[in-house]
Amino acid sequence: MRIELIERTLQICRDRDLDGARALQTELQTYLNDKPIEKPIRMVAGIDTAYSATRAYSAIVVFDIDKGRIAAEYGASEEIIFPYIPGFLSFREFPAIYRAYLKMNEIPDILLFDGHGIAHPRGMGIAAQGGILLDMPSVGCGKSKLCGVYSIPGGKRFDYSELTMNDKVIGLVMRTREKAKPVFLSPGYRFAIDSIPALTGQITGAYRLPLPVHYADRLSKKLKPDA
């Protein structure tokens, strides 16, 4: 983990410092790295956050690819301090995610966030920023487009098209279920875009979202007191 950067992020959250948030996102761009993972990916941690009126509830679900089942679950909550501003989701969610991450007993091979990676106006979605801060390979899986242009992918399962911005490929638009709405997959940190289709094929079941994120979404909702 990059403790100094984490502490700066948490201070920005506490101060509701939008200018500081924008400056940090720009600074973190220098850390982006899409070098492929060399070892086999066996443990994928899905990460998602649900909200009540005043608190964020983050869930991390570690999925064992070889066994096809959940290996561990972690959850934590934090008071919501940073306001909702499109493009700055990281500063709203990271405090609760970080608290849940600190509870983990094992380190997964990759983090899969419900949110975007480099498919972000400043290339710094929650998956990119979270991966850099935690120094973990990461991928983002968004349910809707934040930026970029794409062609509608084919209607079959795992058909995909490229998501581009300023003539650069920043992600893939993939149909994980036949005729279902596609998801928006983009590298976060230390993960190559060319590796996304193979990873998605390993961790996608009967649901629209890949299983680690689907289970994290389900757990995050259960963590809320009114669930």
Provide the CATH number for the domain formed by 3-223 in this structure. 3.30.2170.10
Would the pLDDT of 150 be above 70? yes
Query: Poorest-confidence range of 35-44, 57-66, 192-201?
Result: 35-44
Average confidence (pLDDT) over 112-138: 97
Position 208 scores a pLDDT of 95
Give me the residue spans of the domains in the chain.
Answer: 3-223
Q: How would residue 36 be classed by pLDDT, with cut points 50, 70 and 90?
A: confident
Q: Give pTM, 2 decimals.
A: 0.95
Which amino acid type is present at position 174? Answer: M
Position 174 scores a pLDDT of 98
Position 210 scores a pLDDT of 97
**CA 162 to the chain's CA centroid:** 18
Q: Looking at the chain, list the stretches that DSSP marks H as alpha helix, in order from N- to C-terminal side.
A: 3-15, 18-28, 89-101, 126-134, 196-203, 211-223
Would the pLDDT of 102 be above 70? yes
Pairing of strands 110-114, 160-165: unpaired
Q: Who wins on pLDDT, 107 or 74? A: 74
Long-range contacts of 33-39 (CB under 8 A, 24+ apart): 33/189, 33/190, 34/187, 34/190, 34/191, 34/192, 34/193, 35/190, 35/192, 36/191, 36/192, 36/194, 36/195, 37/109, 37/110, 37/137, 37/190, 37/191, 37/195, 39/109
Position 227 scores a pLDDT of 56
